[in-house]
Structure formats: structure tokens, C-alpha cells
């Protein structure tokens, strides 16, 4: 990634590629860490809880067995016991592109490591389309995110865990990734889909519009089971300097426990300070000409 080598986990059940915060700081020439709060992006993990992230970067990614480089967005996530050892999780936003590139060059995928072949094969399972069921057309403004009611048909009648992701042929909007469970699917199963308009023009979604697709997955392990807050027990991790020479061991342990208890009030980076509506200020510009740069999708095609 951006000239730095990392150990990665190939995860065909993840729709995004992530890098640990410590891995980001270890990069020789790290790209700018950008904020995503204005989009209100929520990333769910296997148990339905939200994945906390610090922001995202746009980096050049390359894997050893192919010379093609991809310009992809990567989420920066807090450190856990797992991602300290394996900083990168490679999601389907990378896997799909490499799978298509390799299929065009070599149908038999000769020379491809076994782990990658298994990941590519697992992505060939059946997908189910989710369509809008809203009675009236919904207009989504540029850079706006909205929740839309959708419906999917034809799900097998058993307990299923599925992921929703954007369709490859849809370029005007993207879908916030989610993990969904269908304990008892019906003929028509309804769900909420979060749509992000990444174009510079308003988007109108009519009834029957394809919103996303669902793909069945098997949850092997849940990385969110590791509480990232518990890792911030050392004062050094919080940026607090405690002179242990002036304290007894019991006093030092008491200080560590207090810092651990209130670790959520400490900032560990420029993007976790939150926001407030108690203070207002004015920004004076040189002129009144508005400036706006819309969000846009980064295509990883060569």
C-alpha cells in the first residue's frame, strides 16, 4: 500500500478494505487521512454492530503476483489485538477488480496462490437483487445519504446471513455496506438500504429501481468482538505521561484504571473530536463565490 508492505487477510465477506491506525502511521509516505463524517457512513460488521473508523485514505495498492496497481479507498480503523498482527483486511472492492482482471488474462488463473483462488471462487455464489418499493419517486441530492425501503424475492427458506453491496453496473450512487440476517425469509423480504449519491446531480429513484444486491456469507469470525477501548489501558496510548517513580505500584495501577474507565474522553487523532452545536462562529471569505467539489467514485480499471 503506497509503497509499504503489510500482511493482509483476504475477506470475501467484507465489502471494504481496511488498514489499522498503527499500520497507517507506520507507512513511509502515508497519504492524507480524510474525513467521512459528512456522508454519515455507517459500516456494520458480522454481529450487526457498527465498525468505528478514523477516516479513509486513497492509496495505490498492489499484490505480489500481479503487476497491476489499483487506486482504491481504504478505511482506517482503530487498533485491535488482531489487526496489530494483520493490519490489512482486503475486501470485495479489491477482490472483484482483481478477479475480473485475472479472468480476462488467464481463464485458468495459473500461478495464482490458493488463498486467492478460494476467495475468488467464494464470490461466485448467487446474488439477489434488492428493488425499491417506495410508492413515490425519491430525490437524493448530491452528496446526500438517505434510507430507502427495498424488497428482495427468492431467498431460500432457511436462516441466512447476507451482505448488501453496490451493483457493478450502477455508477451514480453507492450503498453503505451492511450485514443482514434473515432468520425466516418470506416470499418478499423487506429491508432498509442506505443510498449515497456520489454524483454532482440530483438522483431520482422510482419504484422498482435496483438498489443493491445481496450475497450469502458464512460468518467464520467476528473481529468486532474485540473491544478496542480495552486496548487503550496504557497512559502512553492516551498521550498521558505518568511519572511512575513518584507513585507506588498500587497508586500507579489506580491511575491506569481511572484512565481506562474514562478513555472515551481522550482524543487519539484529528478525526475523533466529535462536534457540538453550543458554539457558533463565522468564516469570512475573500469573495462570495461558492466553491464545491462533489464526491466521486474512484474507478480501478486499467
Which parts of the chain sit beneath pLDDT 70? 37-49, 103-109, 124-125, 157-158, 168-171, 185, 218-237, 269-272, 274, 290-302
What letters, b where the CB count within 10 A reaches 16 and e where it falls short, cover 259-298? bbeebeeeeeeebeeeeeeeeeeeeeeeeeeeeeeeeeee
217 in Cβ contact with 162 (< 8 Å): yes
Enter the C-alpha cell of residue 121. Answer: 471462487
Kindly tell me the burial class for residue 136, based on how many C-beta atoms sit within 10 Å of its own C-beta (0-12, 13-18, 19 or more).
Answer: exposed
Q: May I ask the CATH architecture of the domain 127-216? A: Distorted Sandwich (2.70)
The C-alpha atoms of residue 145 and residue 173 are separated, in whole angstroms, by: 10
SS3 143: coil
pLDDT in tens, 169-199: 666 777 877 778 777 767 788 888 888 887 7
Q: In this structure, are residues 146 and 193 in contact, taking their beta carbons and an 8 Å threshold?
A: no
* Whole-number Å distance between alpha carbons of 41 and 196: 9
* Amino acid 24: pLDDT: 92
Give the pLDDT of residue 95: 86
The helix/strand/coil state of 31 is coil
Q: Where are the alpha helices (DSSP H) in 18-66?
A: 21-25
Q: How far is CA 222 from the centre of its chain?
A: 15
CB atoms within 10 A of CB 162: 23
Q: pTM of the prediction? A: 0.50
Q: Which long-range contacts (CB under 8 A, 24 or more apart) does 104-111 make?
A: 111/65
- How are beta strands 127-132 and 210-216 bridged, if at all? antiparallel
- Report which of 159, 156, 104 is spatially closest to residue 125, judged by C-alpha positions: 156
The three-state secondary structure class of 9 is: strand
Cα–Cα distance for residue pair 59/43, rounded to 1 Å: 20
CA distance 231 to 49: 18
Nearest by Cα to 10 from 67, 80, 71, 61: 61
CA–CA separation, 229 vs 80, rounded Å? 9
Say which CATH topology domain 8-123 has.
Cathepsin D, subunit A; domain 1 (2.40.70)
Question: Could you tell me which residues come within 8 angstroms of residue 128 by beta carbon, excluding any fewer than 6 positions away?
Answer: 152, 153, 154, 155, 162, 213, 214, 215
What pLDDT, on the 0 to 100 scale, is given for residue 219?
65
Q: Using CA atoms, how far apart are residues 186 and 176, in angstroms rounded to an integer?
A: 24
Question: Domain boundaries in the chain?
Answer: 8-123, 127-216, 233-265
Amino acid at each position: 500500500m503506497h509503497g509499504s508492505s503489510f500482511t493482509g487477510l483476504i475477506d470475501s465477506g467484507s465489502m471494504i478494505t481496511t488498514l489499522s491506525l498503527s499500520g497507517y502511521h507506520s507507512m513511509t509516505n502515508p497519504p492524507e487521512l480524510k474525513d467521512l463524517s459528512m456522508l454519515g457512513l455507517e459500516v456494520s460488521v458480522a454481529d450487526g454492530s457498527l465498525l468505528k473508523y478514523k477516516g479513509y485514505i486513497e492509496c495505490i495498492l498492489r499484490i505480489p503476483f500481479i503487476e497491476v496497481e489499483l487506486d482504491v479507498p481504504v478505511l482506517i480503523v482503530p487498533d485491535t489485538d488482531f489487526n496489530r498482527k494483520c493490519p490489512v483486511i482486503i475486501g470485495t472492492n479489491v477482490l472483484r477488480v482483481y478477479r475480473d482482471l485475472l479472468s480476462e488474462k488467464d481463464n485458468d488463473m495459473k500461478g495464482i496462490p490458493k488463498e486467492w483462488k478460494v476467495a475468488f471462487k467464494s464470490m461466485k455464489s448467487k446474488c439477489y437483487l434488492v428493488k425499491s418499493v417506495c410508492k413515490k419517486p425519491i430525490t437524493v441530492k448530491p452528496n446526500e445519504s438517505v434510507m430507502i425501503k427495498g424488497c428482495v424475492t427468492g431467498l431460500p427458506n432457511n436462516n441466512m446471513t447476507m451482505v448488501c453491496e453496490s451493483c457493478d453496473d450502477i455508477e451514480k450512487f453507492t450503498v453503505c455496506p451492511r450485514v443482514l440476517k434473515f432468520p425466516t425469509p418470506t416470499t418478499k423480504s423487506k429491508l432498509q438500504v442506505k443510498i449515497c449519491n456520489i454524483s454532482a446531480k440530483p438522483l431520482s429513484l422510482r419504484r422498482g429501481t435496483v438498489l443493491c444486491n445481496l450475497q450469502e456469507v458464512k460468518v467464520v469470525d467476528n473481529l468486532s468482538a474485540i473491544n478496542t477501548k480495552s486496548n487503550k489501558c496504557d497512559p502512553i496510548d492516551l498521550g498521558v505521561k505518568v511519572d511512575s517513580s513518584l507513585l507506588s505500584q498500587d497508586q500507579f495501577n489506580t491511575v491506569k484504571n481511572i484512565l481506562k474507565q474514562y478513555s472515551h474522553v481522550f482524543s487519539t487523532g484529528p478525526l475523533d473530536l466529535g462536534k457540538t452545536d453550543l458554539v457558533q462562529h463565522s468564516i469570512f471569505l475573500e469573495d462570495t463565490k461558492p466553491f464545491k467539489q462533489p464526491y466521486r467514485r474512484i474507478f480501478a480499471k486499467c
